[in-house]
């Protein structure tokens, strides 16, 4: 496992000074976390394509100080930010979809609660950039076992989750666990009944991963061939 010192050094090196910028941008935040695929890229020594950040203790309006990129996030329809050419997908932890689910179900809502609701084990990791602490809820075990496990109580959004499963496999080469195979089968059945849902999969992939679209189409829609 990479040490917290290694992760901190790697993020400083690969984020075009965005790491240092974010450390000072929100002095009243209770936690600023690089999350999911951005930490996974570090752990696997892969290229960092963008920076995923969730911030605890701020509201959506507080993000107005950040420099916006031209496009929005196609999946969640939220602003994407840019610093020295690096795209940053940043959102308030307590205004996330996971936070809404947690409130509705009386669940804990902090970084641990958030990671418990994230769909895949390999995304269940965060790095707090001021205290430089690792928060892991299954990612490290997934790396050791080389498996992609689907594990969330949130039932909606499974079409975009299916697309994410293929992205994680492309990134890691790991095997799908039975829970992930069941997710893909569910998405395939849903698309067979309503092919218009394909747009949810397409939006997850088309901007940066268009090369995956054909494979995912063949896997999820072998009959209808939309």
Band (pLDDT 50/70/90 cuts) for residue 197 is: confident
Q: Which of 73, 104, 139 is the last residue of a domain?
A: 139
CA separation, residue 203 to residues 73, 80, 98, 184, 197 (Å): 9, 15, 20, 17, 10
Q: Are 59 and 92 in contact (CB under 8 A)?
A: yes
Q: Is residue 225 situated within a structural domain?
A: no
Please give the average per-residue pLDDT across 204-215, as a whole number.
76
Q: Are residues 53 and 13 part of one domain?
A: yes
Q: Which of 14-18, 63-67, 128-132 has the lowest mean pLDDT?
A: 63-67
Q: Are residues 154 and 134 part of one domain?
A: no
Helix (H) or strand (E) holding 5: helix 4-14
- Percent of the chain scored above 70 by pLDDT? 92
Q: For residue 70, what are the contacts with CB-CB under 8 A and spacing of at least 6?
A: none
Residue with the larger pLDDT of the pair 207 and 196: 196
Q: How many structural domains is the chain composed of?
A: 2
Please give the average per-residue pLDDT across 21-47, as a whole number.
94
pLDDT at 226 over 50: no
Q: Are residues 183 and 132 part of one domain?
A: no
Q: Are residues 24 and 134 part of one domain?
A: yes
Token pair 């509201």 is at which residue? 59
Question: What digits encode the pLDDT tens for the residues 134-184?
Answer: 999 999 999 999 999 999 998 888 888 999 999 999 999 999 999 999 999
Please give the average per-residue pLDDT across 7-21, as a whole number.
94
Q: Is residue 216 situated within a structural domain?
A: yes
Q: Are residues 103 and 152 part of one domain?
A: no
Q: Are residues 132 and 62 part of one domain?
A: yes
Q: Are residues 210 and 106 part of one domain?
A: no
Q: Are residues 117 and 155 part of one domain?
A: no
Q: Are residues 62 and 36 part of one domain?
A: yes
| pLDDT, position 77 | 53
Q: Are residues 21 and 118 part of one domain?
A: yes
Q: Are residues 114 and 68 part of one domain?
A: yes
| pLDDT, position 126 | 97
Question: What digits encode the pLDDT tens for the residues 100-141?
Answer: 888 888 888 899 999 999 999 999 999 999 999 999 999 999
Domain limits for position 51? 4-139
Question: What digits encode the pLDDT tens for the residues 75-97?
Answer: 555 678 989 989 999 999 988 88
């Amino acid at each position: 496992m990479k040490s917290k010192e290694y992760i901190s050094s790697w993020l400083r090196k690969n984020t075009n000074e965005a790491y240092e910028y974010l450390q000072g941008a929100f002095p009243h935040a209770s936690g600023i976390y690089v999350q999911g695929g951005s930490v996974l890229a570090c752990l696997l020594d892969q290229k960092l394509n963008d920076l995923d950040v969730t911030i605890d203790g701020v509201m959506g309006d507080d993000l107005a100080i950040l420099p916006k990129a031209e496009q929005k996030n196609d999946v969640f329809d939220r602003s994407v930010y840019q610093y020295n050419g690096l795209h940053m997908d940043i959102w308030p932890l307590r205004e996330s979809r996971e936070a809404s689910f947690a409130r509705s179900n009386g669940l804990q809502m902090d970084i641990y609660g958030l990671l418990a609701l994230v769909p895949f084990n390999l995304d269940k990791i965060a790095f707090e950039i001021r205290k430089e602490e690792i928060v892991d809820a299954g990612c490290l075990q997934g790396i050791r076992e080389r498996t992609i496990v689907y594990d969330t109580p949130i039932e909606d959004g499974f079409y975009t989750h299916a697309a994410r499963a293929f992205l994680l496999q492309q990134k890691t080469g790991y095997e799908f666990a039975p829970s992930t195979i069941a997710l893909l089968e569910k998405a395939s059945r849903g698309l067979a009944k309503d092919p218009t849902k394909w747009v949810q999969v397409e939006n997850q992939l088309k901007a940066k991963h268009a090369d995956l679209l054909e494979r995912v189409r063949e896997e999820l829609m072998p009959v209808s061939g939309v």
